[in-house]
Chains A and B, each alone.
Chain A
Amino acid sequence: MSQGKIEHKEYVYGVYSHETNFLDAIKSVQADGLTIDDAYSPFPVHGIDDILGVKETSLHKAGFTLGLTGTVTAFGVMTYVNTMAYPTIFGGKPFWSLPAFIPVMFETTVLMAAVGMFFVYIKRNELFPGKIPMIIDDRTTDDKFALAFSVDGKSADEVAKIKSALQKSGAEEVNTKSFE
């Protein structure tokens, strides 16, 4: 599975109308020995990751690491402020009073985990404001599902094989699209 790199310019794709047909089609083209470059759908289709062999993302690990950074940062800053930079007695309590630090530590953990994960997410998914995406077909964000194959540098025979595999898989349309 590639993210659709710029060097791939010419694509052949099959269009499907229902997620069941779409999943069956994936199995069908895989049985024909083809490697799918991109699978488009208007919503997350359950079970597709296993069939396509999409590796589980490690986004949650980034979240955990950043969250922990938040906890440690908050704890460190409060310890430094309350014991060294500005030790002040509030209501006769000790300078270093852990229970009072918990709310801020918790909030900072959540803040850093969430913000960090969001940025990792948009980076990994190659999303940013103003990006011009490669959309194989406008209908894939509406009501169609599509399987795309890069055909750059492929011989006419290979392309014909992809097209016939798509036909066999039950595609309603088999189209080509090129990106500049």
Chain B
Amino acid sequence: MSQVDSLLREPLINGLDKTYGKITDDIVRNTEGNPPKDWWIAFGFALAGLLLYVIAVSWTIFKGIGVWGLQKTVNWAWDITNFVWWVGIGHAGTLISAVLLLFKQKWRTGINRAAEAMTIFAVICAGQFPLIHMGRIWQGFFIFPYANTRGPLWVNFNSPLLWDVFAISTYFTVSCLFWYSGLMPDFATIRDRAKSAKRKKIYNLLSFGWRGTAIQWSRFESLSLVLAGLSTPLVLSVHSVVSFDFATSVIPGWHTTIFPPYFVAGAIFSGFAMVQTLMLITRKVQKLEDYITIAHIESMNKVIVLTGSIVGIAYITELFIAWYSGYLYEQYAFYNRAFGDYWWAYASMMTCNVLSPQLFWFKKFRRSIFVSFVMSIFVNVGMWFERFVIIVTSLHKDFLVSSWNYFTPTWVDMSIFIGSLGLFFTCFLLFTRAFPVIAIAEVKAIFSSISEAAQAKARKDSSH
């Protein structure tokens, strides 16, 4: 209803000229006409990255994973680092849509659509790595449990690697459904203002023939709520399961009970950073500053400083427990992390993840676009190093001194990582042109309660 939240609360939709029609125009405009030159340049870079990815992955499959820098000692490195990094990034979307929906945080409406899209693309990138690191990708279907004639030979249901298969595929499916069910009404909006018959037809196909009747909306809200309720424990479970890949092993440095909550906090941290990076660019390029406001950016920065601090506490707890355990190998693993051959990776991780986000305790920095952007990049870099540190430093000096080794990536390792960014940005750039990057219907639903225009009207009415 047209009840105004609180006049003291910062509006989430700026601009006194806003109406429902203007909201549609502002958001849908970006999917109409030809893409601007900036978009083509960015898309060119992304496609080049994607090409690099295809080349490097093809080479890996053709020659085998011997073309990576792996050795007998460090037998997991960039592949799993990239996997965990991408999955972590993929946590923000569902968190924003689901958890913030349950907590009735209205600021989610400005960013949820793009964050969910980002989640899906990040999970697509993540899913590549377990497959290609198998070496024999053509036998990848062995990971699924199904009745077969090979024995029968079944998967190991006691293995966290199999739990990963279930967790990631469920997460991907549920995220897609959540995202798509929200998109249907917005596709209908694009359809109904389309000029050409072809465009109308395509968007009608995408909208599944949405009409927007009261009963449809009633079911829509019910579906969103239940999917949010299901996604909330799901999002927490996914990174917990990913952390089990390490935590259930007996390698010093991995065998840590703190891993599940620590990984989940890290995932939210890196996911919000990636959303921040993308949103700061998108709002500028697509002129959506009125919908993704400084208030949104500040809210995200608050989450970043909170989760960054949780991650910081986890790092320190790990060190303390290693010392307190009195267990020589555990102590050495952590000493080696901080002061060993990879001290530079540990230092980058600590600086980017723990120290620098502390700037966000100051309102001035939280509300600065420049600081937010730089910080979001820092966090992304720091979180990549976190996974690298956990994986490589725990492996490179194992129990047998004669097998101690230093991991150096090859061009293939690096190309696959850079290439996966190309894959991600190709998907995201296509999304920004074809799909509404802001949930139109949801923004309209909060318009009369917490927009600048509604607040101005309420002030005027109350002064009479």
Contact = CB atoms under 8 A, between A and B. Distances in A.
Contacts of B24: 42, 142-143
B15 interface: no
A28 interface: no
A57 B218 contact: yes
Per DSSP, chain B at the interface is helix
Interface in A88-115: 88, 90-91, 93, 97, 100-101, 103-104, 106-108, 110-111, 113-115
A39 to B, nearest CB: 4
B213 A40 contact: yes
Interface stretch (B202-210, B410-418, B425-433): B202-210
Contact of A118 (B156, B181, B188): B181
A170 interface: no
B157 to A, nearest CB: 5
A86 B20 contact: no
**Chain A: interface size category:** 35 or more
A157 interface: no
A156 interface: no
A132 B209 contact: yes
B191 to A, nearest CB: 8
B209 A20 contact: no
A128 B167 CA distance: 28
Contacts of A54: 214-215, 218
Interface residues of B, number: 68
Interface in B204-226: 204-206, 208-223, 226
A114 B174 contact: yes
Contacts of B19: 143
Interface string A126-139: 11111111110011
B227 A19 contact: no
A129 B210 contact: no
Given A85-B152, A121-B223, A133 B204 contact: yes
Contacts of B206: 129
Interface string B413-457: 000000000000000000000000000111011001000000000
A115 B177 contact: yes
A111 B170 contact: yes
Given A20-B1, A107-B170, A100 B209 contact: no
Contacts of A77: 145
Nearest to B154: A86
B227 A114 contact: yes
B166 A121 contact: no
Contact of A45 (B160, B211, B217, B223): B217
A34 interface: no
A155 interface: no
A170 B215 CA distance: 23
B13 interface: no
B211 A128 contact: no
Contact of A42 (B153, B184, B233, B444): B444
Nearest to B214: A39
Contacts of B442: 43
A2 B442 CA distance: 25
Interface string B172-205: 0110011001001100110111000000000011
A42 B214 contact: no
A153 interface: no
Contacts of B191: 141
A23 B1 CA distance: 9
Nearest to A67: B230
B21 A142 contact: yes
Contacts of A143: 19-21, 24
A5 to B, nearest CB: 12
B217 A81 contact: no
Interface string A25-59: 00000000000001111111111110010101101
Contacts of A88: 156
Nearest to B164: A103
A110 B197 CA distance: 39
A122 interface: yes
A69 interface: no
Interface string B229-249: 011011001000100100000
B209 A127 contact: yes
A78 interface: yes
A85 B218 CA distance: 46
Contacts of B440: 42
B362 to A, nearest CB: 37
A91 B213 CA distance: 57
B237 A103 contact: yes
Given A40-B211, A44-B445, A143-B19, A130 B205 contact: yes
Contact of A135 (B151, B208, B211, B222): B211
B157 A100 contact: yes
Report the 3 A-B pairs with minimum CB-CB distance, sorted nearest first: A131-B209, A143-B20, A127-B208
17 contacts: A1-B215, A44-B220, A81-B145, A101-B157, A103-B160, A107-B167, A110-B230, A111-B170, A113-B226, A114-B227, A115-B177, A117-B223, A118-B181, A125-B220, A127-B210, A133-B204, A141-B185
